[in-house]
Amino acid sequence: MALLEIEDLHASVDGHQILKGVNLVLNAGEVHSIMGPNGSGKSTLAQVLARRESYEVTQGRVLYAGKDLLQMKPEEAACEGVFLAFQYPVEIPGIGNAYFLRSAMNAIRKYRGEDELDAMDFLPVFRERLKLLEMDDALMSRSLNEGFSGGEKKRNEILQMAMLEPRLAILDETDSGLDIDALKIVAEGVNALRSSQRAFLVITHYQRLLNYIAPDFVHVLVDGKIVRSGGPELALELEEKGYGWTEAEAQPA
Amino acid sequence: MSGAIEAELRRETMATVAKPMDNYLEAYGGLRALERREPEWMRNLRDEAWELFREKGFPTTHDEDWRFTSVAALARTPFRRAAASHAAVTAEQIEAYRLTGSACRLVFVNGRFAPGISDARSLPAGLEICSLARALDCGMEGCAPTGIEQQLGGYADVRRDVFVALNTALWEDGAYLRIRRGAAIEQPVHLLYVTADGGAATMIHPRTLVIVEDASQVAVVEDYVSLGEGAAMCNSVTELVAGQDAAVSHYLVERENLASFNLSTLRVELGRGARLASHSMLLGGGLVRNNVHPVLAGEGGECLINGLFVGEGRQHLDNYMLVEHAKPNGSSRQFYNGILDEQAHGVFHGRIVVHPDAQKTDAKQTNRNLLLSDEARIDTKPQLEIHADDVKCTHGATIGQIEEEPLFYLRSRGLDEVAARKLLLYAFAAECLDRMQEAPVRRFAEALTHERLLEVARRARPAATVERQDENARNWEEVG
Ligand SMILES: Nc1ncnc2c1ncn2[C@@H]1O[C@H](COP(=O)(O)OP(=O)(O)O)[C@@H](O)[C@H]1O
Ligand SMILES: [Mg+2]
């Protein structure tokens, strides 16, 4: 059974039709990349999969581990193992990073019928993952993403992913705004989590990240539809030719 | 007893039809009939205050200071003094209201000191505390603590506010504290005011006097709770006198039932270099009026005026701040955060008066609010009256809601909707909690806030469903 099966997915935001029939299948152990021009609907797809309720699904279905993902609330999807690394992580003053992360882990553990983690269980793992992502301890006593640089926010998303250990990780342009060193660190964080149990959907605008996270499949999303799919070589082709030709392809014949 | 009052009492006992206000006259007569051994000056204060109350009656919304708050329902309710028999509250009944880590606890039931369930056995050096009635009543005239005659009633002005007049006329008990020069009292003092349901609508008028001598330090927590669901009026007045370089924290915790009317006045006199931190937490009460009135009477005084109010249902929570800068180089900071749901109505009236002598005053005021429903309302009124030329005064007010984006972010990490909302509300409230310096009180306040916000979070809705917020937030700025 595939981990994720997206079938003819249509979605609209504020009355605008953004996704116009997306089809995609991900198996556990695979890394898929979605590329596409700005405004093509990549983030919309990611947010729909993470169950943002203001994004209305108008047609199609999504099965996640055999269950109807579209029936799930965001927290249910999260507890079932779906994780979205946001393109624009939200700053939330007044909520401590570490406190939040432990609350989230415990919410998920509770859902799965596991015991809650106390600070003593939490801290060693937390410290180790912080180190892996070369993040400063001091950031963690601050409010969630508040005053973080763009790169720090993106790394914080990957830190959360590393702590929550999802089965399906969706990375929405985690690479944009990162310098090359930060990009490598983020890629290492992702690669460390790659396993036969887990699938990744890596959304990116540029091919750069894919040098470090080698995808199994690359899909091109244009105007709310996947117009081409292929192997890693497709990313290189896109890099060379730009998105112009794919857009032309997206036009109805 | 003055002749006029006696005559009136006689007249009233002959009347057959009860008029509004009869209940107050009856209370006043009842109190006098107790023949407490009070000093002459106190009796005179009461008579004078009673006359003022009788003349003026309750304010209406035409009164500028009461523009946003109608006390008509309070005036209509025939509140009475509690019968003595209502005071049978046991230690178990109030166990849940304990403040862990306090230096001592004085409990007042229906306005009367309850020594059996209080705990003031081992007091830290430098702290004197007893019931105010006891401080005044020691069997003969003139044996009350030295100077109390100048202090009690010396600051809270019966002319400014009829509720202060009513309290002065009708108070039965409260706390008396004196912190000796140079003493630093590390643990907070807990004053617990319990209204116990006695069938009829009960009124109490707690009176507290806190003398903080030069260079000493203390934190006092006034905590108002109800046992039962009955309607009550609690009208308290606290006078707090801080000497030179003294540092004092005052906490007001209002968590009475929703049928309660709670009016409180904190009047603080700050000496040279003295520091005040006033923290108000309005979590309960049906109609609440919270008056905080510090006067920076010495040079270089500092005050922090911090508050959190959380209302739902038809709660009405009115915060009236009056900060008077009388001497140079003083600073004041006001921060009030409000969370209002359903038909709750909040008021923040922030008045800053800078007297001609108060050059180099630095005064700041901020009121932030979350309106969680279409019917919730906030009235904010900054009022700056500046009579000196070299001063810095700023004010600001904001309104907001629970935003959809952060809510989704939290939920996408596994927190359920209620937990996510509560976390966002708590983050907003934490701005106020974080200003509380005394660890035991802060933990206490955090626990109360968590509990309260969980109730609100179960119902509150995110931004997309709240539409009329702008209409319901009104700013009545008066800056001159
Ligand atoms: N709230 C919204 N209201 C209207 N249009 C929106 C909204 N959010 C996104 N869009 C539009 O939807 C399209 C797809 O956006 P998005 O999914 O963010 O694209 P991408 O991530 O591929 O750049 C864009 O044209 C964008 O302008
Ligand atoms: Mg995007």
Report how many domains make up chain B: 1
Backbone angles phi, psi at B391, to 5 degrees: -135, 160
User: Amino acid letter at B264?
Assistant: S
DSSP, res B346? E
Residue of B nearest to A76 (CA): B414
To the nearest 10°, the Cα dihedral for B229, B87, B237, B22?
80
Among B251, B188, B245, B173, CA closest to B212: B245
Among B23, B412, B319, B301, CA closest to A88: B412
Mean pLDDT of the B87-114 span: 93
* Optimal mutation site among B335, B404, B411, B449, interface A, most CBs of chain A within 10 A: B411
Whether A54 is in the pocket of ligand 1, judged by its Cβ within 6 Å, is no
Tokens 């089965």 belong to A167
Q: What distances in angstroms separate CA B60 from CA A188, B25, B56, B315, B346, one per listed residue? A: 69, 20, 11, 19, 18
- Considering the domain boundaries, does residue B254 fall inside one? yes
Asked if A86 is an interface residue toward chain B (Cβ–Cβ < 8 A), one would say: yes
The 10 Å CB-count burial string (b at 16+, else e) for B203-233 is: bbbbbbbbbbbbbbbbbbbbbbbbbeebbbb
- Considering the domain boundaries, does residue B421 fall inside one? no
Whether A204 is in the pocket of ligand 1, judged by its Cβ within 6 Å, is no
User: Residue A42 Cα, ligand 2 centroid: separation in angstroms?
Assistant: 5
Asked if B402 is an interface residue toward chain A (Cβ–Cβ < 8 A), one would say: no
Q: Which of B405, B408, B423 sits opposite A95 (nearest CB)?
A: B423
Is A109 exposed, middle or buried, given 0-12, 13-18 or 19+ CB atoms closer than 10 A? middle
Asked if A92 is an interface residue toward chain B (Cβ–Cβ < 8 A), one would say: yes
Whether A42 is in the pocket of ligand 1, judged by its Cβ within 6 Å, is yes
Q: Report the alpha-carbon distance of residue B161 to residue B64 in Å, rounded.
A: 12
Position in ligand 1 atom list of the atom nearest CA A44? 17
Cβ pairs bridging A and B (under 8 Å): 73
- Decide if B105 contacts B149 (C-beta within 8 A): no
pTM: 0.91
Confidence band, pLDDT 50/70/90 cuts, at residue B475: confident
Query: Tell me, what's the pLDDT at B460?
Result: 66
User: Residue A39 Cα, ligand 2 centroid: separation in angstroms?
Assistant: 7
DSSP, res B97? G
Residue of higher predicted confidence among B167 and A96 = B167
Q: Report the alpha-carbon distance of residue A150 to residue A10 in Å, rounded.
A: 31
- Contact residues, B window 150-209, toward A, CB-based 8 Å cutoff: none
The protein residue with its alpha carbon nearest to ligand 1, atom 16, reads A41
**Helix H or strand E encompassing B296:** strand B287-296
Give pLDDT tens digits for A137-192: 888 888 999 999 999 999 999 999 999 999 999 999 999 888 898 899 889 989 99
* Optimal mutation site among A56, A86, A92, A117, interface B, most CBs of chain B within 10 A: A92
Give pLDDT tens digits for B365-383: 999 999 999 999 999 999 9
| Lowest mean pLDDT across A16-25, A92-101, B260-269, B278-287 | A92-101
DSSP, res B125? T
- Considering the domain boundaries, does residue B123 fall inside one? yes
Two structure tokens written together for B424: 């966002």
- Considering the domain boundaries, does residue B434 fall inside one? no
pLDDT at B2 over 70: no
User: Residue A47 Cα, ligand 2 centroid: separation in angstroms?
Assistant: 10
Query: Tell me, what's the pLDDT at B82?
Result: 86
Two structure tokens written together for A64: 């996640």
Q: Which of B405, B415, B430 sits opposite A75 (nearest CB)?
A: B415
Residue A47: CB atoms within 10 Å: 24
Confidence band, pLDDT 50/70/90 cuts, at residue B36: confident
- Considering the domain boundaries, does residue B345 fall inside one? no
- Decide if B195 contacts B73 (C-beta within 8 A): no
User: Residue B141 Cα, ligand 2 centroid: separation in angstroms?
Assistant: 81
Whether A207 is in the pocket of ligand 1, judged by its Cβ within 6 Å, is no
- Decide if B285 contacts B271 (C-beta within 8 A): no
Tokens 């939040």 belong to A100
Q: What ipTM does the predicted assembly reach?
A: 0.96
**Helix H or strand E encompassing A226:** strand A225-230
Mean pLDDT of the B24-37 span: 86
- Considering the domain boundaries, does residue B282 fall inside one? yes
Q: Report the alpha-carbon distance of residue B185 to residue A195 in Å, rounded.
A: 59
Cβ–Cβ gap B411/A74 under 8 Å: yes
Binning chain B into helix, strand and coil, the percentages to the nearest 5 are 30, 35, 35
Query: Tell me, what's the pLDDT at B9?
Result: 52
Taking the CA of A41 as reference, the closest ligand is: 1
Q: Report the alpha-carbon distance of residue B335 to residue B342 in Å, rounded.
A: 23
- Decide if B363 contacts B392 (C-beta within 8 A): yes
Asked if B418 is an interface residue toward chain A (Cβ–Cβ < 8 A), one would say: no
Position in ligand 1 atom list of the atom nearest CA A173? 21
Residue B174: CB atoms within 10 Å: 28
Q: Which residues on B lie below 8 Å from A73 (Cβ)?
A: 411, 416-417
Among A163, A104, A42, CA closest to B412: A104
Two structure tokens written together for B252: 């007001």
**Helix H or strand E encompassing B219:** strand B217-227
Position in ligand 1 atom list of the atom nearest CA A40? 22
The protein residue with its alpha carbon nearest to ligand 1, atom 20, reads A39
Residue A27: CB atoms within 10 Å: 15
pLDDT at B30 over 70: yes
DSSP, res B200? B
User: Residue A16 Cα, ligand 1 centroid: separation in angstroms?
Assistant: 9
- Decide if A87 contacts A52 (C-beta within 8 A): no
pLDDT at A249 over 90: no
- Considering the domain boundaries, does residue B437 fall inside one? no
Q: End-to-end distance of chain A based on CA atoms, in angstroms? A: 35
- Decide if A171 contacts A190 (C-beta within 8 A): yes
- Considering the domain boundaries, does residue B271 fall inside one? yes
Whether A179 is in the pocket of ligand 1, judged by its Cβ within 6 Å, is no
Q: What domain range includes position B110?
A: 3-298
Cβ–Cβ gap B427/A100 under 8 Å: no
- Decide if B201 contacts B79 (C-beta within 8 A): yes
Confidence band, pLDDT 50/70/90 cuts, at residue B464: low
pLDDT at B252 over 90: yes
Q: Which residues on B lie below 8 Å from A93 (Cβ)?
A: 427
Confidence band, pLDDT 50/70/90 cuts, at residue B199: confident
Taking the CA of A86 as reference, the closest ligand is: 2
